[in-house]
Structure formats: structure tokens, C-alpha cells
Amino acid sequence: MKNYKPYKGFYDLRNYELPKKIFSKLWKIQNMLFHMQERYDYFKKWHPGQWAKAKQLSAEYQRILFNYPRRIEE
């Protein structure tokens, strides 16, 4: 978790009270979604099925994340 750096356009996972296991899983999802977002044209043209699944995964990612409270800033 100490090596985590949020991607531009993604939620900062450090701002949520996440168990380590959930943090790790959401971080991996962020990595994959960021990779696909950077190659948007490629996935839309050549892998539309994967692109559609990534959109579903993104929605599920947000649903999981929003089940946890935000940290109160000091």
C-alpha cells in the first residue's frame, strides 16, 4: 500500500477505510482499467467485448468502493 499512487481520473483509495485485502484488489482493478483507458481506441476497435466487460467492472469497482466510509481529513 505504501507504493500506491492514484491514477488521474480515479478515486484515491487511501481516502477510504478499506481492509488491506480489498485495497489490494481495487488497486489491481485500477491498474487494469487505467491500462485499458490509455488504449481506448484499440480496445473499442479490436476488443469491444473486453471494453464492455471493463465498463461493467468499473461499475462494480465503484459499488464496492462506495460501501466503505471515506476517511476524515485532519
- What confidence score (pLDDT) does residue 52 get? 96
Of the CA atoms within 13 Å of residue 26, those in its CB half-sphere come to 29
Instruction: Give 7's DSSP letter.
Output: P
- What confidence score (pLDDT) does residue 1 get? 76
- What confidence score (pLDDT) does residue 41 get? 95
- DSSP secondary structure string, 61-72? HHHHHTTSPBPP
Q: Are 16 and 65 in contact (CB under 8 A)?
A: yes
Which of the four pLDDT bands, split at 50, 70 and 90, describes residue 74? low
pLDDT tens digit sequence for 7-61: 999 999 999 999 999 999 999 999 999 999 999 999 999 999 999 999 999 999 9
